[in-house]
Structure 1
Amino acid sequence: MEIHMKQSKTSQGKNILEGTPTVISTRALNRALLARQMLLTREQLPVLNAVERLVGMQAQDPNAPYFGLFARLEQFLPEELSQLIQDRKVVRIALMRSTIHLVSSHDCLYLRPLVQSVHERGLKGSYGKYIYNLDVKEVAKAGRTMVETKPLTFKELGKQLNDKWPDFDPAALAAVVRTSVPLVQLPPRGLWGESGQAVHTSAEAWLGNSLSSKSVLDDMILRYLAAFGPASVQDIQTWSGLTRLSETVERLLPQLVNFHDNQGNELFDIPDAPRPDENILSPPRFLGGFDNMLLSYANRKRIIDEDYHKLVFTKNGIIKPTILIDGFVSGIWKVKREQGILKLIIQLFKQLSNHEYNTLTDEGSRLLDFITSEEVPREIVFL
């Protein structure tokens, strides 16, 4: 995928070899992130292009990508994304950080080989003691045949594998296949307004193509910077789940500019990527759960205050849907139907100005219109 970015309106930083980097404020980092994430202004962009620009979207919550695209695109209809899933142009697959992402079919085949070590490390950490002396390659081979013969849930896959390897834990056996075989989740899982268990087959069988043999880690890092930069090596590692990327970033230095943040951390970026003025206005936005902006940095200060972290990230690993006010996480939200009323329930973390309150209410009404076109009573509740 080619990277096309608009010319920056602020300091271009320093070429790595030119001397002391420019210090870039937290607020300026926030505005750079929002510009690249299409959150300063909704963009008119095909859904598939938007998903690729974001290098995929976190998708543990099946509805989260729909809300993420609603916040970023003009006139986005959920049926557009559902159709792409059904047409096999986008898929749900474990990728970065070994977590479920919604990506284009091209990126599925291109990115999956680059994060193989992340999956292997996760398998060792979670199931290492359960697969001691197991012939992993034979299990993976058998598992691939099973899911390509008939798509299976992990529970079904583990049970079938356990029939052949009765001395091993079924969940561990299924995890071996998930690690070694690129498994995609099939619809109706992930379709708007529908539900279904996560049923899997191999990416190769579903897409009729092999994993890319031309995947280049350098390109993956440049795409991350285009969507999330400026960023540190630690940020890139947090986003991808990969380790020891300093050498790879060093190889890219002639193509990059660098900055320091307020804490003195070195940040890298693409020279002509957008870095708007830090005082540019940012409208309120409702983000879905698990939005990648909250998961793609070692230092999250550019998007969420540390004091709010525990209000968004739960102990059992859930990341709640969030509200951006002036570009920063300032609340959480949920929708529920109660006595025939569709309610948008908003919990704010700080007091808003009258203007912020009014614009957030307007955006909330727009969100309810997106959720349903039914003529039902609607209500916005501030806790």
Structure 2
Amino acid sequence: MTVVLDSRALNRATLARQHLLARGDASVPEAVARLCGLQAQEPQEPFIGLWSRLAGFEPGRLDDALTDRTVVRTHLMRRTVHLVTADDALAWRARHDAMLRQRVLGTYRRELAGVDLDEVAAAGRAVMADGRPRTMSELVRAVEDRWPGPPRRVLGELLVAALVPMVQLPPRGLWRRTAGVHNLPLATWLARDVDPLPAGDGDPVGQRLVRRYLAAHGPAAGADLRAWCGLAGLPAAVKAVREELVVFRDARGRELLDLPDAPRPDPDTPAPVRFLPAFDNAVLGYHDRSRIIDAAHLGLSVAGHRVVLVDGRVSATWTVRGHHLRISPLRPLTAGEEEAVRAEAGDLAAFLDQDIAHVRLDTAD
């Protein structure tokens, strides 16, 4: 008989995989790899995500990983900028190529009608062959005479986010640095070509993605996997690894897959307060997010609100304005929960080190 996992059991499994039950002692590259990357379109947010997950995390550790090229910022899952290890960027990029193209085309199909994408890609690579970083505007200016029809923004997104595997170079993404986006081909920055997709039958890259996703987010359904990566063509990969996996059901009867030896803590395991950054994959990495956030609040994470986990669930939002860290509960908090939230907020304020003089905890509506 298939075991049913309720929302609380799934919540504790997610927190354990995401290093949100207890802070870990991994290096930054190790943590980024275990998490299958961190969403990073807002450059400073990964620092908060890592602070909530790693004991004694210091911003310089991520700065070092970016500058020594063990971690990179690149468009990947869901055509979103992610912070991933260099090895994962090279291994996963070719498997995401078709999705990246289709997502740009789906957004700008009319503007790109009649445009040969392979020709645009070849032109972009030719421009970047000199090894000089370029902004999107500089890259577009170099090729726009050949394609005067599409708006410059569309041509730029096509080149940078879809056709040519690019990395956003430091100082973009460094701690407290405000910098424009200078792009360089991934292969140039890492001195190694993107891994080609293996020839022949099967989908070994997709199979590895399935295993890695489940290690970081499982137990999960196929729809959750698709929501995380944006890839539609993974059913064959799931089928290929299915015999390695264990099967559960959620309270709605959905089939959930998982790695047999992955952590699935007791549902009564205490969960500490954690402050999450905008667009954190602990929330966004699923199609069904009910394990961590109530339906009434689903729009918060998509809109980029920073959230607070209390007893493992999204229970407040938080912002920093000037010298104030403000917490806005989404439900009434007990006295003990308020105390824990204030304590973690004080530690966060010390980490942010922005002369935050006051932590304000509002009353739930």
Q: TM-score range by the shorter chain?
A: over 0.9
CA shift, 1:98, in A, is 0.9
Aligned partners of 2:210 and 2:225 also within 8 Å: yes
CA distance in 2, matches of 1:126, 1:148: 28
The partner residue of 2:5 within 10, 18, 24 is 24
Find 1:192's aligned residue among 172, 175, 186. 175
- Which residue is 1:334 aligned to? 319
Partner of 1:113: 94
Please say if residues 144 and 177 of structure 1, whose CA atoms lie closer than 8 Å, have aligned partners that are also in contact. no
Distance 1:263 1:169 in 2: 46
Amino acid at match of 2:24: E
Unmatched tracts of structure 2, length 5 or more = 199-203
Give matches, 1:53-202, under 5 Å: 53-149=34-130, 150-178=132-160, 179-202=162-185
Q: What SS is found at the alignment partner of 2:110?
A: helix
Q: Distance in 1 between matches of 2:158 and 2:300?
A: 34
In structure 1, distance between residues paired with 2:2 and 2:104:
40
Aligned counterparts of 1:169 and 1:159: Cα–Cα separation in 2: 12
* SS of 2:324 mapped into structure 1: strand
Q: 2:338 aligns with which of 331, 343, 357?
A: 357
Distance in 2 between residues matched to 1:370 and 1:313, nearest whole Å: 25
Partner of 1:250: 239
Q: TM-score, normalised by structure 1?
A: 0.89
Once the two structures are TM-superposed, the CA of residue 86 in structure 1 deviates from its matched residue by: 1.1
Judge which range, 347-356 or 277-286, deviates more. 347-356
Rounded Cα–Cα distance in structure 2 between residues aligned with 1:155 and 1:300: 37
Residue 361 of structure 2: aligned partner: 382
How far apart, CA to CA, are the structure 1 residues paired with 2:208 and 2:137?
36
Question: Displacement, 1:308?
Answer: 1.4
Paired with 1:83 and 1:245, the residues of 2 have a C-alpha distance of: 34
For this pair of structures, how many residues does the alignment match? 354
Are residues 28 and 261 of structure 1, via their aligned partners in 2, closer, same or farther at CA, if it must alter by over 3 Å? same
Q: Determine if contact 1:161/1:173 at 8 Å carries over to the other structure.
A: no
Structure 1 unaligned regions, length at least 5: 1-19
Deviation at 1:110? 0.8
Aligned with residue 210 of structure 1, among 171, 188, 193:
193
Q: Show CA shifts across 1:267-292 (max 9, x none).
A: 00000100000010000000111101
Counterpart-to-counterpart distance in 2, 1:291 and 1:176: 25
CA distance in 1, matches of 2:153, 2:320: 34
Map of 1:16 onto structure 2: none
User: Higher mean Cα deviation, 157-166 or 344-353?
Assistant: 157-166
CA displacement 1:281-333 (0-9 Å, x = unmatched): 0000001111012211110000100011234433xxxx211100000001111
Letter in 2 for 1:336: R
The RMSD of aligned alpha carbons is: 1.5
Aligned identity (percent) is 38
- Paired with 1:168 and 1:55, the residues of 2 have a C-alpha distance of 34
What is the aligned partner in structure 2 of residue 43 from structure 1? 24
Tell me the distance in 2 between the aligned counterparts of 1:66 and 1:286: 12
User: Which of 310, 318, 321 is the equivalent residue of 1:325?
Assistant: 310
